[in-house]
Chains A and B, each alone.
Chain A
Amino acid sequence: MTAVLPELDIEGPAAPPRSNGELVFAEPWEGRAFGLVMALVDRGMLSYDAFRDALVARIAAWETSPPPGECWSYYRCWLQALEQVLDENALVTFAEVDTRAATFAARPPGHDHRHDDHDGHGHDGHEVHHR
């Protein structure tokens, strides 16, 4: 199968970048969520401090009462914090993300406009680091 990192347009060898033996982002969506925050802060659409406050609150809430059956995910908290500050600032609401995500989730299997994958098998980002 094709390597599934061209989305990031990384020059050079296809080996996933590592930091002291650990992937910087365990899954591609984590990198996207990180990049979104940085791009919004860079453009002045978002204050990093406000984002951090929301992140701290999300982490504390999860640790106080972890939802049953849900594993810890730092970037889940990160994404939730981003959604929260965007909602509070009326830039993108929770409801809008719900609707769009439902639309995307309803796409037929194999749909993947990002990865230009023509082998007919649907896949998601989870495959990337299992090569």
Chain B
Amino acid sequence: MTSESLEPGLDLATRTEALESLLLERGLADTKTIETFIRIYETQVGPMNGAKVVARAWTDPDYKARLLADGTAAIAELGFKGPQGEHIVVLENTSQVHHVVVCTLCSCYPWPVLGLPPSWYKDSAYRSRVVREPRAVLAEWGTELGPDVQVRVHDSSSEVRYLVLPERPTGTEHLGEEELAALVTRDNMVGVTKVAPPGAQS
């Protein structure tokens, strides 16, 4: 086994095409299914789903309670389910506790609510450093936490995926669910940043 079987001269696109053609010939996969999965994750499944979950939790205390008790079930209530969403645990950020999520071994991530992970989440720099020095990493994201705030780093696994429920920013009391959802970004829900108040977003 065999990294040498991947000849550097043959580029990865050609190799992928070769593999696909063999799988198609053998009836192990079909083009329509392959392209459907690509399209779904490029266009339909993404952080906007998680933002809706967060906005609902901010506006509906009963929903929030269900979300924290059983993330997967409460997320499915809004219609979001699928691969890598079988066991989602929701972590609530407060003024005392700040949760941040990583997958130290690879790239486990709650696909149904956040889509596929961004490249920085898959890079070894983030994966190793956020465990060793979370405050320094968070500061680089512009997230400054007081010494009284406890930082908890959660390592995703094949069994558990995490979604951070960020703090609702002040000055949003008048906003409805849809407007609130528009404030929430992917990075807020991984826990590397806080939700910016309305008007503060670029």
Give A residues with C-beta under 8 Å from B.
Answer: 7-10, 17, 19-20, 22, 24-29, 31-36, 38-43, 45, 48-49, 52, 55-56, 59-61, 63, 67, 70, 72-76, 79-80, 82-84, 86-87, 91-92, 94-98, 100-105, 124-126
Residues 104 to 126 of chain B near chain A (Cβ within 8 Å): 105-108, 115-116, 118-119, 122-124
Complex Cα distance A67/B118, Å? 24
Complex Cα distance A33/B116, Å? 14
Contact B18 A74 (CB under 8 A): no
Top 6 A-B residue pairs of the complex, sorted by shortest distance between their CB atoms? A100-B18, A35-B34, A29-B13, A101-B18, A38-B37, A17-B42
Number of B residues contacting the other chain (C-beta, 8 Å)? 53
Residues of B within 8 A of A60 (CB): 105
Give B residues with C-beta under 8 Å from A.
Answer: 1-3, 5-23, 26, 28-30, 33-35, 37-39, 41-43, 46-47, 83, 105-108, 115-116, 118-119, 122-124, 158, 185-187
Chain A residue with Cβ nearest B1:
A84
Contact B28 A43 (CB under 8 A): yes
Residues of B within 8 A of A10 (CB): 39, 42-43
Complex Cα distance A71/B13, Å? 16
Residues of A within 8 A of B9 (CB): 105
Contact A83 B19 (CB under 8 A): yes
Residues of A within 8 A of B119 (CB): 22, 26, 74
Contact B124 A32 (CB under 8 A): no
Residues of A within 8 A of B186 (CB): 19-20
Complex Cα distance A84/B15, Å? 13
Contact A92 B19 (CB under 8 A): yes
Contact A52 B158 (CB under 8 A): yes
Residues of A within 8 A of B38 (CB): 8, 25, 31-32, 34-35
Residues of A within 8 A of B30 (CB): 39
Complex Cα distance A61/B3, Å? 10
Q: Which of B9, B12, B16 has the most CB of A within 10 A?
A: B16
A3 CB, min distance to chain B CBs, angstroms:
15
Contact B29 A40 (CB under 8 A): yes
Contact B33 A39 (CB under 8 A): yes
Chain B residue with Cβ nearest A16:
B42
Residues of A within 8 A of B13 (CB): 27-29, 124-126
Residues of B within 8 A of A29 (CB): 12-13, 16-17
Contact A73 B12 (CB under 8 A): yes
Contact B19 A55 (CB under 8 A): no
Contact A94 B33 (CB under 8 A): no
A41 CB, min distance to chain B CBs, angstroms:
7
Q: In the complex, given contacts A9-B39, A39-B34, A84-B1, what are 19 additional A-B residue pairs having Cβ atoms less than 8 angstroms apart?
A: A10-B39, A19-B116, A22-B118, A24-B42, A32-B34, A35-B37, A38-B34, A41-B83, A61-B3, A70-B8, A75-B12, A83-B6, A92-B23, A92-B26, A100-B19, A101-B7, A101-B14, A105-B9, A105-B11
User: Given A22-B119, A73-B12, A75-B12, do A34 and B37 touch, yes or no (CB 8 Å)?
Assistant: yes
